[in-house]
Amino acid sequence: MVIVMKTGATNEQIETVIKRVAELGMKPHTVKGEEKTIIGCVGNDDILRSHPIEQFEGVESVQTITKPYKFASREFKKEDTIIDVKGIKIGGGNFAVMAGPCSVEGEEMMFSTAKMASEAGARILRGGAFKPRTSPYDFQGLGEEGLRYMQNAARQYNMAVVTEVMDVREIELIDKYADMFQIGARNMQNFSLLKEIGKTQKPILLKRGMSSTIKDLLMAAEYIIAGGNNQVILCERGIRTFETYTRNTIDMNIIPSAKELSHLPIILDPSHGTGKRSLVTPMALSGLVAGADGLMIEVHPQPEVALSDGPQSLRFNEFQELMEKVKKYLEFENKRIG
């Protein structure tokens, strides 16, 4: 259940209600909106039904949330959540582009990519330093060295850093270098990782598991929010279907669906979604039309020699052309870039 406080409810009134909720054995979770404060209550709803919280001063209403993903649901919060990554906004009409190589391969390539991507309008630099590779014999990432290259390149070009955390043991290290943590598709239901990442203070990019439903994705987001971090950005990156021509199948339905069901922003990754360079731009633009709040695009100075995901990485000129189209469309939609 959620308790909606009246516009202008005092801090004291809010604190009194929170205290009462805790006394009743429920876990209160407060979200301060622009106008109203909402207190989500996790636990047995029957307890609240039999104790009239409505009668406390400053309470406007007590509502039942029917969805199992309480805090992630639109029922809980009507307005779009806007996530702030080092001053870059995502959601609620703010569009952000994250670009960079699949893996951080060296310092020079991170600098040249950051320069090109930031000049083209991307404000978040991506790159994996810890890579989830299907084969143990494939390049596994440069680890901390890679994180350092990425952070230096991002600082130089005034960008934020997003990078994947594969394991609970990496959180502390990655926290020193990243502005946003990425949870990869293979880890979307790694519940220990979701719980731990929920204890951090930075935004989380949560990628959809390759055989997960929208409900599974929102439940994964719920784990992070219930853990204490409500800065979650969802990401569609394609799912496994019977189609083999493309690496994955982009489920474009999820973009408007997520907007109906949740207040969280959702972005599209057409690189992993298609696995083919020639399809990245058309699918990226389709994502914009579907209402995505951002894009994650793999780009590489020389995709032919990339250590991972070369076939789906855009060349610099292709990324620049994509960004010109993105900007034109955002103007048409009256949306701002980051």
Kind plus residue range of the DSSP H or E element containing 4? strand 2-5
Distances (CA, A) of 53 to 32, 127, 131, 172: 19, 48, 49, 40
Q: Considering the rule CB under 5 A, would residue 105 count as an interface residue with Mn ion?
A: no
Q: Does 309 bind Mn ion (CB under 5 A)?
A: yes
Q: Which C-beta is closer to Mn ion: that of 102 or that of 114?
A: 102
The residue type of 300 is H
What does 132 bind: ligand PEP, Mn ion, none (CB cut-off 5 to 8 Å by kind)?
Answer: ligand PEP
Q: Which stretch binds Mn ion (CB under 5 A): 36-44, 94-102, 158-166, 256-264?
A: 94-102
Residue 207 binds which of Mn ion, ligand PEP, none (CB < 5-8 A, kind-dependent)? ligand PEP
Q: Where are the beta strands (DSSP E) in 172-293?
A: 180-183, 204-207, 232-236, 266-268
The item of ligand PEP, Mn ion, none sharing an interface with residue 185, based on CB under 5 to 8 Å by kind, is: ligand PEP
Nearest to 29 by CA among 77, 74, 90: 77
- Closer CB to ligand PEP, residue 74 or residue 186? 186
Report, in Å, the least distance between residue 184 CB and ligand PEP: 3
Q: Nearest distance from residue 139's CB to Mn ion, in Å?
A: 11
Q: Which residues of 171-193 are buried (b: 16+ CB within 10 A; e: fewer)?
A: beebeebbbbbbbbbebbbbeeb
- What is the dihedral sign for C-alpha 64, 66, 69, 72? negative
Given 9, 102, 180, 206, the residue binding Mn ion (CB under 5 A): 102
DSSP output for 219-237: HHHHHHHHTT---EEEEE-
At closest approach, how far in Å is the CB of 283 from ligand PEP?
Answer: 14
Give me the residues that bind ligand PEP (CB under 6 A), please: 102, 128, 132, 164, 184-186, 207, 237, 272
Give the whole-angstrom CA distance, residue 243 versus residue 257. 22
Q: Which is nearer to ligand PEP, 29 or 207 (CB)?
A: 207
**Shortest distance (Å) from residue 126 CB to ligand PEP:** 7
The listed partner (Mn ion, ligand PEP, none) that binds 89, CB under 5 to 8 Å by sort, is none
Q: Which residues contact 10 (CB under 8 A, 6 or more apart)?
A: 58
* The entry of ligand PEP, Mn ion, none that residue 276 binds, CB within 5 to 8 Å by partner kind: none
- Closest approach of Cβ 43 to ligand PEP, in Å? 33
Query: For residues 103 and 231, which CB has a smaller minimum distance to Mn ion in the complex?
Result: 103
Minimum CB distance to Mn ion smaller for 102 or for 224: 102
Question: Residue 236 or residue 309: which is nearer to Mn ion going by CB?
Answer: 309
Distance of alpha carbon 97 from alpha carbon 116, whole angstroms = 13
* CA gap 70, 314 in Å, rounded: 38
Instruction: List residues near Mn ion by CB under 5 A.
Output: 102, 309
